[in-house]
Amino acid sequence: MLQANRTRIPDLLGYDAQAKLVALDRAYGIVEFDLEGTIVLANELFCSFVGYSKEALIGAPHTMLLTPADRAQHNGFWQEVLAGRLESGEFKRIGKGGKEVWIHASYTPITDPQGRLLGVIKLALDITQSRNEQAAQQSRLSALYRSQAVIEFSLDGTVLDANSNYCQLTGYERHELIGKPHRLLCEPSFADSPHYQQFWETLRRGELVSGRFRRLGKQGHPFWIQASYNPVLDGDGVVRKVIKYAYDITHNVKLEIIASDQRAILDIMLTAHHSFLLDRDLACACDKIFNPLLRVTGSEFGFIGIVHQEEACPVLHVPSITNLSWDEQTRQWYELQRQRGGLVFRDLDNLFGHVITHNTQVCTNEPTQHVASRGMPTGHPPLTSFLGIPIRYQDSVIGMIGLANRPGGFDDELIALLTPLVTTLGTLIHARTLEDERSLIENTLRFNAEHDFLTGLPNRSSFFEHANVLFSHLEDESSDLPTSSLALLDIDHFKQINDEYGHLVGDLVLKELAHLLQGQFRDIDIIARIGGEEFIVLLKGATRELAVKIMDRCREQVAQHRFEHDGQAICFTISVGVAAFSRQFHSIDEWIHDADTRLYRSKHAGRNRVS
């Protein structure tokens, strides 16, 4: 403790002064200097600040506690102290071992009653910890300002300040933001909603608002931020302003959207695969994926088309398309085309046809300016953007996807997103084509195996396959099928036709007769060529009496017919034998034999008749 009875200032210290000095000694680090700046006294508290003992301090110059920079300026500093012009402040001092010490100190000149300077006394508080904490806090704030976008608002949402990061994020200059309302950065639909009012009411209550937000920058470009809106309170707990800390997550959100879209495209691909494999119906598969495709691409309307060839020219068959009918006439036309399995476009000299005829993508956000544009039909909805992607297999166009009117237009990112789907559709369309070709070949082979090559009628083998089934049912006594009849016929004097006109004409006569006969019978009846000029007819459910009438009508039709060949009229007749089913027949051959017997009866009776 400082001694109050020191000889240097005995007249200055009464009892009250001594008590006050004791109190100061406990609260402050106290050090006394002579006029040259040499330490002549230091209390225990000051010694603890700098880490020196009293013995080490007393007699040492003031400069021992200064930084090198302050030492160089000490003379000027000390003159200011002696002149009484430097009262107090925060000072950085160097303690024992080079330890940095921050003090809040006052340098006060000591004078005698006559006003003569006796020395200088310094009262100091150690503020090293608070100064370091303040520096750390400031460092953290500086780091926030360097790393994040920061903007300040008044309680009515007016921008008070914004750092460079926020300006860079939005595209605005700082002076363009200050004084503007927060709603400038929001989408109109949000800024005009009750949610926006609730947003600011929450902040004015002093509650934190944080989360992911979509905002608009200069010229309306959208961006995404992860942000916290922090109400700032004064010492009385009253909200004075709001500070927002934000960082740009636009890239991450775009990646999330792309991943979500990719999952949606994958679902569409799986739906197409499943539908095609399950139903074997490509048009149905296209229909099932069409609306999801519009949703994931954000398109207003579009279509999926498949290319066919007609007389070596490409034709676009569209099984899936948005209904864009704009009046009753187009609506009826659209419905009729859908009932027929889809729309067919043969005129491809237009914007979407360019995709097929040139085997190229068409991506335009100014459709009317495209070289292939031919305008739109009167009444058609306006086209603001169009994307046409060819569906290929081994570089050949086998279909296309057409999409239109996407907000913001079409771009390469969307094209890349759709590439796997386009490839899948190419594979499915090709598989469907192969399936159709295989089915056509199988049907052709089956038809050829079951039909006569010349006349196109069922052949002997096919006839017996069906007739034996009917015969088995008819001979079953428990069967309730009505009786049936069988007719055998051939061309009268057919050899003479061959001899006179040649076998080529004879073949034409056979084909002509087949054509005439096909128009005389019901769908349930079976007519076949069983060899040479012989034909056989199975009239299901017909009694012999009815069968004779039917066959006689056929005979008359043939007799009245004139076959023209090379300007010559060739006439011919037929003879017919009709036999009704009888359970006395043990086989179909016996039934045919009965009809054959009746056929020869007609021939022996003069031909051109039914027996």
Instruction: For tokens 């009515």, name the residue.
Output: 156
**Domain annotation covers residue 515:** yes
DSSP 258-278: HHHHHHHHHHHHHHHHHHHHH
**Domain annotation covers residue 101:** yes
Domains identified in the chain, total number: 4
The percentage of the chain sitting over the pLDDT mark of 90, rounded to a whole number, equals 55
Residues 202 and 67 reside in one and the same domain = no
Instruction: For tokens 């046409």, name the residue.
Output: 388
> Taking residues 437-459, what's their average pLDDT?
86
Residues 166 and 221 reside in one and the same domain = yes
Look at residue 3 and tell me whether its pLDDT is greater than 60: no
Residues 306 and 397 reside in one and the same domain = yes
For residue 359, what are the CA distances in angstroms to 34, 393, 414, 567? Answer: 99, 11, 19, 51
User: How far is Cα 394 from Cα 95, in angstroms, rounded to an integer?
Assistant: 83
Residues 545 and 590 reside in one and the same domain = yes
Per-residue pLDDT tens digits for 263-316: 988 888 888 888 777 766 777 778 888 889 999 999 998 999 899 888 889 999
Domain end marker among 387, 406, 435: 435
| Structure tokens given for 27 | 């609260």
Domain end marker among 110, 133, 156: 133
Active site residues: 533
pLDDT band at 428, cuts 50/70/90?
confident
Residues 284 and 238 reside in one and the same domain = no
**Domain annotation covers residue 443:** no
CATH number at residue 159: 3.30.450.20
How confident is the model at residue 12, as a pLDDT? 47
In this structure, are residues 106 and 54 in contact, taking their beta carbons and an 8 Å threshold?
no
> Taking residues 540-563, what's their average pLDDT?
92
Residues 287 and 428 reside in one and the same domain = yes
**Which of the given ranges, 105-109, 327-331, 468-472, has the highest pLDDT on average?**
105-109
**Domain annotation covers residue 190:** yes
| Structure tokens given for 361 | 């993508």
Helix segments in 51-98, DSSP class H:
54-57, 68-72, 74-82
**Domain annotation covers residue 609:** no
pLDDT band at 600, cuts 50/70/90?
very high
Contacts of 317 (CB under 8 A, 6+ apart): 305, 306, 307, 308, 341, 342, 343, 344
CATH number at residue 358: 3.30.450.40
Instruction: For tokens 């707990």, name the residue.
Output: 237
Residues 293 and 415 reside in one and the same domain = yes
Per-residue pLDDT tens digits for 12-58: 445 566 777 778 888 899 999 999 999 999 999 999 999 999 999 99
Domain end marker among 382, 403, 435: 435
- Does pTM surpass 0.85? no
For residue 198, what are the CA distances in angstroms to 201, 202, 229, 468, 479? Answer: 5, 6, 14, 85, 83
Pairing status of strand 209-216 against strand 386-393? unpaired
Residues 299 and 416 reside in one and the same domain = yes
Per-residue pLDDT tens digits for 183-227: 999 999 999 999 999 999 999 999 999 999 999 999 999 999 999
Q: Cα Rg for the chain, rounded, in angstroms?
A: 53
Q: What is the 3-state secondary structure (H, E, C) of 302-326?
A: EEEEEEEEECCEEEEEEEEECCCCC
Q: Measuring CA to CA, which residue among 233, 240, 183, 230 is closest to residue 209? A: 230
Look at residue 9 and tell me whether its pLDDT is greater than 70: no
Per the model's pLDDT, the better-predicted residue between 23 and 345 turns out to be 345
**Domain annotation covers residue 253:** no
- Tell me, what amino acid is at 445? L
Residues 286 and 413 reside in one and the same domain = yes
- Average pLDDT of the chain? 88
Per the model's pLDDT, the better-predicted residue between 520 and 179 turns out to be 179
Range of the domain at 398: 280-435
Residues 60 and 205 reside in one and the same domain = no
User: How far is Cα 318 from Cα 564, in angstroms, rounded to an integer?
Assistant: 44
Per-residue pLDDT tens digits for 366-384: 999 999 998 877 777 889 9
Residues 119 and 177 reside in one and the same domain = no
